Amino acid sequence: MKKIELEIVALSHSITQTHSYAVVLGEINGLRRLPIVIGGFEAQAIAVALERMQPSRPLTHDLMKNFMNAFNVELMEIIINDLQEGIFYSKLVCVSEHDTVEIDSRTSDALALAVRFGCPIYTFDNILESAGILMEDTGKKKKSDIQIEETSSANREELNKLNLEELQNLLNDVLEQEDYIRAIAIRDEMNKRK
C-alpha cells in the first residue's frame, strides 16, 4: 500500500468529547483532513513541541526522545496504520546502527514524538477514505500556519481585561502548573498587544 504523508494543521478542543482535544492532520499536497481525538496530556505535549516551548522539566515525550538519542535510536517516521472501531493505531519506525524496528504506539504519543524528532507522519488511503474529511481548496497552508485553538470566547474575554503585567503574572502561574495550552493563549494575547 502507498503511504500518504500528513502534517499537523490544527490542535483544538474536541467538540465531540469533553476534556479531550482533536489534532487535525492534513494531507500534504491534498485536501483531505484526518481529525483524531486525543487526551489533554498528549495535546499539551504536542502543543509544547509545536510552539518550541521549554518546560522547566522534561515532559514524558522529551524523556523518550532523550532516551532514544542516548542509545542512538532515530525515529524515522510514524505510520497511522489501522483504524478499528473509531480507534487509530500507529507504529513508530525506529532505526539504530544495526536494525530497523516497528514499535506499536498510541497515535497521540506517536504524534508527540514525531513533532519532537521532526519526522514524517504517514497513513494509508483506506484510513483517509474512511475517517478523513475533504476540505474546499482555499489555498495551501504552510507548516508555520498550524492553528492551536485552545481558548473559549469566555477565556479570551478574561484575558482581554488583564493588563500586560497581569498577563505576565498569569503566564508565570500557568507555566508553573505546566498548563502549556493556556500558556500559549496568554502568550498570544501578550504578543497581540506589543
Q: What percentage of the chain has pLDDT greater than the value 90?
A: 42
> Is the domain of 133 the same as that of 63?
yes
DSSP 16-32: SSTTEEEEEEEETTS-E
Q: Domain residues for 144?
A: 3-149
> Is the domain of 60 the same as that of 138?
yes
Count up the domains in the chain and report the number. Answer: 2
> What pTM, to 2 d.p., does this model score?
0.75
DSSP 99-137: -EEEEEEEHHHHHHHHHHHT--EEEEHHHHHHH-EEPP-
> Is the domain of 173 the same as that of 93?
no
pLDDT in tens, 62-83: 999 999 999 999 999 999 999 9
CA distance 182 to 94: 33
Find the helix or strand (DSSP H, E) in which 166 lies: helix 164-176
> Is the domain of 22 the same as that of 112?
yes
> Is the domain of 138 the same as that of 99?
yes
pLDDT in tens, 162-184: 888 888 888 878 766 666 566 66
